[in-house]
Amino acid sequence: MSTGSFGSDGVIQPGNSRDTARGACGRDRTVGQAHASPLERRDRAWRPDSLLRVKIVDVELIQLAKVHARPHRNAKQSRSRRVVSLVRITTDEGVDGLGEAWCNPALAEGVVLGKLRPLVLGQDPFNVEGIWHRAFDGSAMYDPKGAVVAGISGIDIACWDIMGKATGQPVCKLLGGLNRTEIPAYASDLHWEEDPTVMARAAASFVERGFRTVKTHVGVDPLDDARRVRAIRDAIGPEIGLMVDVNTGFDRPTAIRFGRQIAEYEITWYEEPLSPMDVHGLAAVRAATGLTIATGENEYTRWGFRQLFENGGIDYAMPDVARTGGLTEMKKICAVAEAYGVVVSPHNYSSGVCSAATLHFMAAVPSTGPLEWDTIDSSVVSELFVEPPTVKNGAVSVPQLPGLGVHLPDEVRSRYSAN
């Protein structure tokens, strides 16, 4: 009697006494059914004994870029081109996985290929805890924050994608279960404009599309930006949530002064009013303005978030799955946040791979929310989903195909290649 094994489509096949081939590890494996649909692959039986010897044989970095018709501006920068860094892991059984490392694109190659690739080759992609610690604290020279942790995130997400494909399950079921099939979301792409009426019209259009909360980026002109917040509030009405994101642009006095100016407009949360280096200042801003504080997209790992929570002044934590250590670490950050009574609302402003990972995570951890969603197609998002999620009445559907439900077609890679 033969054992079950990986098929050519990357899904475990039940054992079959006929039609077996010798695997890389010297044991029998059945030949896969290459033409099965994703749903058929998801529902097919699998055998745990076939998962024991799969190994990582390659790690690839793929950078995609999207050019904007007009610049996107916030308190710290203006840009007309966004580059995302995807990580693809291939195994000896032919199944591969996609992840994302959200860091400075110029650093990604050295981190992913130079530092991390040698550490993960030959490893079992199901051993996410072992791979994570091997990459994070496997040497005497630590890189506890920054691009290296973002690179680990990309590796980790890709491993989870492989696990889902191999078992025929959506990643959310491996993380904790499909606890909800859609995630309430807010519109996140209302960037600073010289003319407040342009921002107001954009905000109103998001509401017309069904979003119940809108986030705007201000802080370019702290002496005048309250006028922009007021214009947006007037356009969307009193029943719609309004988040204000300063993208770390203020010092303490400016953050307090501006927060007091906008408090009358019923702000849902005041996001990143200070530099991530000023971990003690958030409590002062919160106390002086009475506003709900959200921050964390520039923080890393459970240890970084524990420090944020211990210093107080944070109501919503915003770890980014492609930046803070991947899905493995996100679960631990959520556990720490729960102990401190802080809600986790993941930052999600990159490619479709990051969006898919975030959707799966939030489906598995129902205490998280709301979801940040790209409403102006500012990155390569829908093109990377096998079946793009639906957005209806301000909620986004959770992918239910095996793995993350993402892919990288050759045409998409060619069209958006950053090189």
In degrees, rounded to 5, the angle at the alpha carbon of residue 69 between the alpha carbons of residues 67 and 75 is 85
Which residue segments constitute the domains of the chain, with CATH numbers given?
5-51 (no CATH), 56-168 (3.30.390.10), 174-408 (3.20.20.120)
The token pair at 291 is: 């506003």
> What is the CB neighbour count within 10 angstroms for residue 214?
27
What CA–CA distance (Å, rounded) separates 264 from 290? 11
CA distances from 86 to 63, 112, 150, 322, 407 (A): 6, 10, 11, 10, 11
Provide the residue-wise pLDDT of the chain in tens; the chain has 419 residues. Answer: 333 333 333 333 333 332 323 233 333 333 333 344 554 444 443 455 556 689 999 999 999 999 998 899 999 999 999 999 999 999 999 999 999 999 999 999 999 999 999 999 999 999 999 999 999 998 888 999 999 999 999 999 999 999 999 999 999 999 999 999 999 999 998 999 999 999 999 999 999 999 999 999 999 999 999 999 999 999 999 999 999 999 999 999 999 999 999 999 999 999 999 999 999 999 999 999 999 999 999 999 999 999 999 999 999 999 999 999 999 999 999 999 999 999 999 999 999 999 999 999 999 999 999 999 999 989 999 999 999 999 999 999 999 999 999 999 999 999 999 98
CA distances from 135 to 45, 55, 88, 163, 407 (A): 33, 16, 17, 19, 25
What CA–CA distance (Å, rounded) separates 253 from 1? 73
What CA–CA distance (Å, rounded) separates 90 from 69? 35
- Cα 343 to chain centroid, rounded: 17
The token pair at 210 is: 């069904």
Q: Cβ contacts of residue 259 below 8 Å, gap of 6+?
A: 270, 273, 285, 288, 289, 291
Taking the CA atoms of 53, 57, 61 and 64 in sequence, report the sign of the dihedral they define: negative
Give residue 194's pLDDT: 96
Give residue 49's pLDDT: 57
Q: Are 285 and 293 in contact, with CB atoms under 8 Å apart?
A: yes
What CA–CA distance (Å, rounded) separates 143 from 9? 37
> Cis before residue 48, ω within 30 degrees of 0?
no
